Chains A and B, each alone.
Chain A
Amino acid sequence: MKVKVISRSVDDFTRERSQDLQRVFRNYDPSLRTQEKAVEYVRALNAVKLDKIFARPFIGAMDGHIDGVSCMAKNPTQLKWIFSGAMDGDIRLWDIASRRTVCQFPGHQGAIRGLTVSTDGRMLVSCGTDCTVRLWNASADNLMELSNSTKNSVEPASVHVGKNAYLAVDHQWDSELFATAGAQVDIWNHNRSEPINSFQWGSDSVISVRFNPGEPNLLATSANDRSIMLYDLRMVSPVRKMIMMTKTNSIAWNPMEPINFTAANEDGNCYSYDARKLDEAKCVHRDHVSAVMDIDYSPTGREFVTGSYDRTVRLFYYNSGHSREIYHTKRMQRVFCVKFSGDGSYVISGSDDTNLRLWKAKASEQLGVVLPRERKKHEYHAAIKKRYMHLPEVKRIERHRHLPKPIYKAAALMRAMSDAKKRKEERRKAHSAPGSVTTQPLRRRRIIKEVE
């Protein structure tokens, strides 16, 4: 005969410490919990609402510049340091944690247009409209020493003078090369005073340059002739050019997907391209109502941040058509540069109002030390939110954002315009012979041609 008895082993119920929670055993039979789905739905709803309540993305502003911030560079080895360059030729190093200037790098006579730091964090490269490229010793030891001493300005390690203004600079990953853009694209070595390579394709000036961090020999530039160009340093030549309807202000490569890059366009959209297929964008990221000035990928490669001329910062998923988040403050003016922090949890924006602003990448994220139980709870909330995000109530609350009136109106206007265009297109199609009018998808529409 089988006798069923309740058995409780002591080991199962003994706590290691008196603070530990008593272990609770549950019966996970779903038939006992018929309402579980409903309960989770309500929890998801509450989680979304809580997110709204806790959404406090703005951490602080860093003021000190006396002109608009035009460019920024993050130190790949130091999480809490960021360099910023202003339109008056001032370069500053900020300590994000304390939000104070650590030191300054005086020397430039005109606006700084490009800043970049070498991968080892030792060399800061700046360039500007005064036709100079300056290299600074920015190693942590040196700067720490400086910040401790009374003198807090740095002398440049070397100054290279060119013929034309420089509009952008970027450093190659894990090497001594960096590229400047201006009238042409120059490739420099730290140790040489002359560029080791110069590329010119077309006569318009190049306004942005970005090295591919995953595939360091590839670099992409955008020029005033509305083109995006790819260069390959192994082949020592430009490889492909693509011309769009509007100018591309900035380019960012996906650090986790070296074949993909996203271009911040003057028309307010961002276009994600596969470097191998430039005839069609992989994804069009809409939502900005004015030109997108700068773009930077999160180091996780799953999202990117854009700063726009419409005075907002937006965060996008790498594959979504619309932004997941918008940041704005009353005082923030045109945003000229944005950067993701090295750990992917903060966003820094530099704007025309001479300030740098520090934001959380997730608006409602809990800062500070998170206990394991808290973390589990957050994870659970995120999971159920994700699960029920398609249901109308959850979706509505999740998507709702309070916008400044001008942006709201501009967005409505743009929507109206695009709707009208679409209507017109549809009617034209309806009134012409079938097949004679074809609509180009948006991914293709803004591309004029691909030049070999």
Chain B
Amino acid sequence: MPETKRKHRDETNHRRGHSKPNRNSRKKKKTGPRLPSSLQKELDRLNPTAPIDSDQDIDSADGDGAERELLPQDFYEYEEQQAEEESKKNKRYDPGSVDQIQYDLPIERSDESEDEIIQSDDDNDDDDDDDGMRMTGDAADDDSSEEGDGRHTRMLQGITGMPSEAFEGKKKRKMKDDGIPELYPESEYNPSRDVVDGDGQISIDDLLNPLQDNPGFGKLRKRIQQIENNSKAIHAPLRTADQAKVERKAAYEISKKEVTKWQQIIQRNREAPTLLFDENIDLGFSTVGAIASEFEPRTEFERKMAALVSDDKVMEAYKKDGSRLLEMNTVSVEEEKDRQSRIAKMRSLLFRHELKAKRIKKIKSKTYHRLLKKDRLKTEYSKIQMDPEVAKEFAMKQERLRAEERMTLRHKNQNRWAKRILTRGLNSQDEGTRAAIAEQLQRHSELTRKMHSMKDSSSSSDGDDEDAGSDQDMGSKVLGKAIEKTMKVIQDDDETPKSGLLSLPFMRRGLEKNKAAAIEEANLALQEYKDSKKKLENSVGSEGPEATSISGRRVFGASKTQISDAGNKVKSDYNYGSSDSEDDLRASKNGNIETQRSNILQKDVNTDPVLIQEDTDNHQESVFKDFNEIVKNPGPKTTYEVSLFVSDTWKKAGNRDEKGTNVKKSAMPSGSVRQDRKDTEKEVEEDSDTDSEGQMVDRILTSGSKLSYELPSQEELIRQAFAGDDLEDEFEKDKMEILNAENPEPEKPVLLPGWGQWTHVQKKKGLPSWMLKEHENAWKKREEAIKKRKDAQLKNVIISEKLDKKAEKLHTKALPFPFTSKEAFEQSMRVPIGPESNPATAIGALNRPEVVKRPGVIIKPIQFEEVNPHEKPEERRGDKHRSKKNKGSGGRSMKKTSA
């Protein structure tokens, strides 16, 4: 151990050799005897720093000292660097150890120098030199030099009477100075000056010395060494005020930085369209499960249920896998089978029914549905006929209806709507309305007619049924009427229109041709009517069944009428012989002609007299039944549908004809109709041909009438339409008026009345020049204003520059704050946000307020959370919503609220 210690000492010794004298002197001083006061004074006089130094005063005159004493720590630094030397100094006085050092030296040396080189640059040179010197010194005169030194000092002491240390320091310094003056720059590492001046201080070495034996010494020494190497000069402390200022400044910077972390959160919240403060509210029982778990049975029933549910067996079975539950649930096989079969049956029934309903629902044919309805009615009737009770009931109902109708006259244009329509004029109404009115009237007549029929045929059954006899009577009557009407047509046809489209020569020619044909046909028809009438009269009894077999509604179409008048006359009279409906031949002449034509074609097909009757009826009475049809085909092409009730049952025939005229209608032939067809086929060879021919004729006729009329050119029409109007002039005038209104003409300067009138001064002098000038200026101004107008160059446009006061309130005076452009501002108001113009799903987002909070919920201040600056706001929203959904999980939300 002592060896290592010595090594240490040696090391330090070699490195810090230059400060050895200091140590020496101090040591000596400390150990030496006290001087007499007089001597001390003398010494003070000679070397004023010495005693002060001994007192360890801070205010040393020495430059190094001053530098060191800036801060108390410096003392330590200074002393520290002395510390190692202490050991050497001690060694000095221990010749044995010195020997030892000498002995060790060669080995140590190499290590030392290496170490030094690695350690630092600045000190190395010095140290190396120092070492070198020391080495040489040591090598040359080990003890002898020491001895010599001692003797020399003693001699000096003897001469001067001064303490030995004074001389020693001087000598040492001198020696150093002499030997290597440039190698020892004066510094804190080289405090030779102090020593020379007798400036001995307690250094850290002194303090460290006694610690040498302690285990941590090596470490401590190393640290001290490090501090030595890195030590710098330290400034004087600032005034406390300044110091505080600096501190505050630093603190502010730090707190600023600390606070800046909020920047992104704040930014995000400010940019967010909505701040939500109603999240994460703990409502206690929020889930159904939580509430259910709290449930306790109270009533008898609840207890029973609970006993069943929480039965040990069941619970156990449930907990295991549920298979035991099945065991416990015993059901007999037969029962189950029965149940299943029952269910299957039910299902299949339901399914079939459903399918059927679907199929029926899919059928779009009106005819079919009508037939369906008829069927239903028929079954009802049959029921009525079968069951006297039901019949009675029905009769009573009908009677009541009739009575009501009689009393209220509800359907005789009595209600407000009908009256209103009538006051406005039926002709100005659209077709739908007219048809509706017609329908009403028809209903009225139906209801009242029943009364007649009841009176006539005292049958208690349905009034719709009519006897064959009466039917035949009617038939003959109709025939008679038809004859009459045909005659009339033939006679009436003379008149020709004097103006309008029909007055054009080519039209007239065509008309004449048509008329001739029509008359011919009419004559033919007349003959046939007469024939059939005779036949009818002859075969009263035999006709009945045949008529029923082919009877029904006959529909004739294919009439093209010019709507010169109200166009289609609506006549709703199903009453057979009633003549209260008048025919407007003049209006529907064309149509008549056409229908006549088609009748000719059909004539040979429909040889049956009853049908002929119908045909003739078509001439005279155009009866609309289905007003929907009319509404569907408005315009020039109107279809006249005629339906006659010939038979007792409301069956209709003539589907074929309907097909011929209305292609749209898909016929759903009933049995009777088919029968009819067969009959006719038997009678006539080309049944279908006639059908198509009918169509053909129809088309040709319609197209023919179109071809015959040539439209005048557009210009001509316009000229005709606006004959006598001078629009351009009017426009000019209007524009001038507006110009004048917006830029009024200046008033003409006038002579001032009464002023100098009697002397005619004004007249002589004329108007004053300023007046003229003013007037001229005003004119100029006006002209300029007119020129500046936007519509000055636009001939056909008037752009009013008058400010609209009503519109002004819809404009802002300046662009409002957050908007940067007019477009953006207008865009912000463009799309309406109301519930009327937005779906309910969008309204919430559109109308959401900026801050959503719930009254009664305390909002806590913001808490910090990391924010991803590149995060999109939508994502955050979604995230929030998610967190809102799973309340308990405590999603990361910025605001925390508590109930």
Q: Which residues of A contact B (CB under 8 A)?
A: 26, 28, 30, 33, 36-37, 39-41, 43, 76-77, 79, 173, 213-215, 218, 230, 232, 234-235, 237-240, 255-260, 275-276, 299-302, 342-345, 376, 379-380, 382-384, 387-388, 390-393, 452
**Cα distance A54–B869 when bound, in Å?**
43
**Inter-subunit contact B858/A255 (CB<8 Å):** no
Segment of B61-69, B241-249, B497-505, B731-739 engaged in the interface with chain A: B241-249
Residue of A nearest to B249 (CB): A452
Whole-angstrom distance from the CB of A152 to the nearest CB of chain B? Answer: 25
Q: Specify which chain B residues have a CB less than 8 angstroms from the CB of A258 in the assembled complex.
A: 259, 262, 861-862
Residue B425 CB within 8 A of the other chain: no
Residue of A nearest to B863 (CB): A214
User: How would you classify the secondary structure of chain A's contact residues: helix, strand, loop or mixed?
Assistant: loop
Whole-angstrom distance from the CB of A189 to the nearest CB of chain B? Answer: 21
**Cα distance A213–B862 when bound, in Å?**
8
Whole-angstrom distance from the CB of B2 to the nearest CB of chain A? Answer: 52
Our pick among A173, A235, A299, A379 for the contact of B255 (Cβ within 8 Å) is: A235
**Inter-subunit contact B262/A383 (CB<8 Å):** no
Q: Specify which chain A residues have a CB less than 8 angstroms from the CB of B263 in the assembled complex.
A: 259
**Inter-subunit contact A376/B847 (CB<8 Å):** yes
**Inter-subunit contact B248/A276 (CB<8 Å):** no
Give the number of chain B interface residues (Cβ < 8 Å).
60
Which 5 residue pairs are nearest across A and B when measured between Cβ atoms? A213-B861, A299-B859, A235-B251, A255-B861, A342-B858
**Inter-subunit contact A345/B245 (CB<8 Å):** no
Q: Specify which chain A residues have a CB less than 8 angstroms from the CB of B277 in the assembled complex.
A: 299-300, 344
Q: Specify which chain B residues have a CB less than 8 angstroms from the CB of A239 in the assembled complex.
A: 248, 251-252, 255
**Inter-subunit contact B809/A302 (CB<8 Å):** no
Residue of B nearest to A341 (CB): B858
**Cα distance A215–B863 when bound, in Å?**
8
**Inter-subunit contact B855/A343 (CB<8 Å):** yes
**Inter-subunit contact B260/A276 (CB<8 Å):** yes
Q: Specify which chain B residues have a CB less than 8 angstroms from the CB of A230 in the assembled complex.
A: 252, 255
Q: Specify which chain B residues have a CB less than 8 angstroms from the CB of A33 in the assembled complex.
A: 832, 836-837
**Inter-subunit contact A259/B816 (CB<8 Å):** no
Residue of B nearest to A26 (CB): B836
**Cα distance A345–B858 when bound, in Å?**
10
Our pick among A37, A238, A256, A275 for the contact of B832 (Cβ within 8 Å) is: A37
Q: Specify which chain A residues have a CB less than 8 angstroms from the CB of B534 in the assembled complex.
A: none
**Cα distance A300–B864 when bound, in Å?**
16
**Inter-subunit contact A344/B809 (CB<8 Å):** no
**Cα distance A171–B251 when bound, in Å?**
22
Given contacts A232-B251, A302-B851, contact A392 B809 (CB under 8 A): yes
Whole-angstrom distance from the CB of A395 to the nearest CB of chain B? Answer: 8
Whole-angstrom distance from the CB of A62 to the nearest CB of chain B? Answer: 19
**Cα distance A300–B862 when bound, in Å?**
9
Residue B857 CB within 8 A of the other chain: yes
**Cα distance A33–B836 when bound, in Å?**
9
Q: Specify which chain A residues have a CB less than 8 angstroms from the CB of B812 in the assembled complex.
A: 390-392
**Inter-subunit contact B810/A299 (CB<8 Å):** no
Given contacts A28-B839, A218-B259, A300-B859, contact A380 B252 (CB under 8 A): no
Residue B834 CB within 8 A of the other chain: yes
Given contacts A302-B275, A376-B843, contact A259 B862 (CB under 8 A): no
**Inter-subunit contact B850/A388 (CB<8 Å):** no
**Inter-subunit contact B847/A276 (CB<8 Å):** no
**Cα distance A452–B241 when bound, in Å?**
11
Our pick among B269, B834, B861 for the contact of A384 (Cβ within 8 Å) is: B834
Cβ proximity bits B259-281 to A, threshold 8 Å, 1 near / 0 not: 11011001001000001010000
User: Which residues of chain B from 809 to 825 have a CB within 8 Å of any chain A CB?
Assistant: 809-813, 816, 825
Residue of A nearest to B846 (CB): A383
Q: Specify which chain A residues have a CB less than 8 angstroms from the CB of B857 in the assembled complex.
A: 343
20 extra A-B contacts, CB within 8 A, seeds A299-B859, A390-B825: A28-B837, A214-B863, A214-B864, A218-B255, A232-B252, A234-B258, A235-B254, A238-B248, A257-B262, A258-B861, A276-B260, A299-B277, A343-B856, A344-B277, A344-B851, A344-B853, A383-B848, A387-B828, A390-B812, A452-B249
**Inter-subunit contact B247/A237 (CB<8 Å):** yes
**Cα distance A77–B898 when bound, in Å?**
8
Q: Specify which chain B residues have a CB less than 8 angstroms from the CB of A256 in the assembled complex.
A: 266, 269, 275, 861-862, 895
Residue B339 CB within 8 A of the other chain: no
Whole-angstrom distance from the CB of B824 to the nearest CB of chain A? Answer: 12
Cβ proximity bits B779-816 to A, threshold 8 Å, 1 near / 0 not: 00000000000000000000000000000011111001
User: How would you classify the secondary structure of chain B's contact residues: helix, strand, loop or mixed?
Assistant: loop
Residue of B nearest to A302 (CB): B851
**Cα distance A259–B262 when bound, in Å?**
7
Residue B833 CB within 8 A of the other chain: yes
**Cα distance A391–B863 when bound, in Å?**
39
**Inter-subunit contact B859/A344 (CB<8 Å):** yes
Q: Specify which chain B residues have a CB less than 8 angstroms from the CB of A259 in the assembled complex.
A: 259-260, 262-263, 266
**Inter-subunit contact A301/B862 (CB<8 Å):** yes
Our pick among A213, A343, A380, A388 for the contact of B834 (Cβ within 8 Å) is: A380
Q: Specify which chain B residues have a CB less than 8 angstroms from the CB of A237 in the assembled complex.
A: 244, 247-248, 251
Whole-angstrom distance from the CB of B620 to the nearest CB of chain A? Answer: 40
**Cα distance A275–B836 when bound, in Å?**
47
Our pick among B830, B833, B855 for the contact of A383 (Cβ within 8 Å) is: B833
Q: Specify which chain B residues have a CB less than 8 angstroms from the CB of A173 in the assembled complex.
A: 861
Whole-angstrom distance from the CB of A247 to the nearest CB of chain B? Answer: 22
**Inter-subunit contact A41/B810 (CB<8 Å):** yes
Residue of B nearest to A346 (CB): B855
**Inter-subunit contact A384/B249 (CB<8 Å):** no
**Inter-subunit contact A383/B829 (CB<8 Å):** no
Q: Specify which chain B residues have a CB less than 8 angstroms from the CB of A214 in the assembled complex.
A: 262, 861-864
**Cα distance A76–B860 when bound, in Å?**
8
Given contacts A235-B251, A300-B851, A343-B855, contact A380 B835 (CB under 8 A): yes
Whole-angstrom distance from the CB of B829 to the nearest CB of chain A? Answer: 6
Residue B509 CB within 8 A of the other chain: no
**Cα distance A379–B848 when bound, in Å?**
6
Most central of B275, B844, B848, B862 by chain A CB within 10 Å: B862
**Inter-subunit contact A215/B245 (CB<8 Å):** no
Our pick among B810, B829, B835 for the contact of A387 (Cβ within 8 Å) is: B829
Whole-angstrom distance from the CB of A343 to the nearest CB of chain B? Answer: 5
Residue B854 CB within 8 A of the other chain: yes
Whole-angstrom distance from the CB of B854 to the nearest CB of chain A? Answer: 7
Q: Specify which chain B residues have a CB less than 8 angstroms from the CB of A391 in the assembled complex.
A: 809-812
Q: Specify which chain B residues have a CB less than 8 angstroms from the CB of A260 in the assembled complex.
A: 266
Q: Specify which chain A residues have a CB less than 8 angstroms from the CB of B322 in the assembled complex.
A: none
A-B contacts, 22 listed (Cβ < 8 Å):
A26-B836, A33-B837, A36-B832, A77-B858, A214-B862, A218-B259, A235-B255, A237-B247, A238-B248, A238-B251, A255-B859, A255-B862, A256-B895, A299-B860, A344-B851, A376-B847, A379-B847, A380-B847, A387-B829, A391-B812, A393-B809, A452-B248
Given contacts A379-B848, A380-B847, contact A342 B810 (CB under 8 A): no
**Inter-subunit contact B838/A383 (CB<8 Å):** no
User: Which residues of chain B from 205 to 260 have a CB within 8 Å of any chain A CB?
Assistant: 244-245, 247-249, 251-252, 254-256, 258-260
**Inter-subunit contact A345/B861 (CB<8 Å):** no
Q: Specify which chain A residues have a CB less than 8 angstroms from the CB of B858 in the assembled complex.
A: 76-77, 79, 299, 342-343
Whole-angstrom distance from the CB of B258 to the nearest CB of chain A? Answer: 7
Cβ proximity bits B861-899 to A, threshold 8 Å, 1 near / 0 not: 111100000000000000000000000000000010010
Residue of A nearest to B245 (CB): A452
**Cα distance A37–B895 when bound, in Å?**
37
Q: Specify which chain A residues have a CB less than 8 angstroms from the CB of B254 in the assembled complex.
A: 232, 234-235
Whole-angstrom distance from the CB of B200 to the nearest CB of chain A? Answer: 43
Our pick among A26, A240, A300, A393 for the contact of B252 (Cβ within 8 Å) is: A240
Q: Specify which chain B residues have a CB less than 8 angstroms from the CB of A342 in the assembled complex.
A: 858-859
Residue B749 CB within 8 A of the other chain: no
Residue of B nearest to A392 (CB): B809
**Inter-subunit contact B854/A343 (CB<8 Å):** yes
Q: Specify which chain B residues have a CB less than 8 angstroms from the CB of A276 in the assembled complex.
A: 256, 259-260
**Cα distance A79–B813 when bound, in Å?**
44
**Cα distance A130–B853 when bound, in Å?**
41
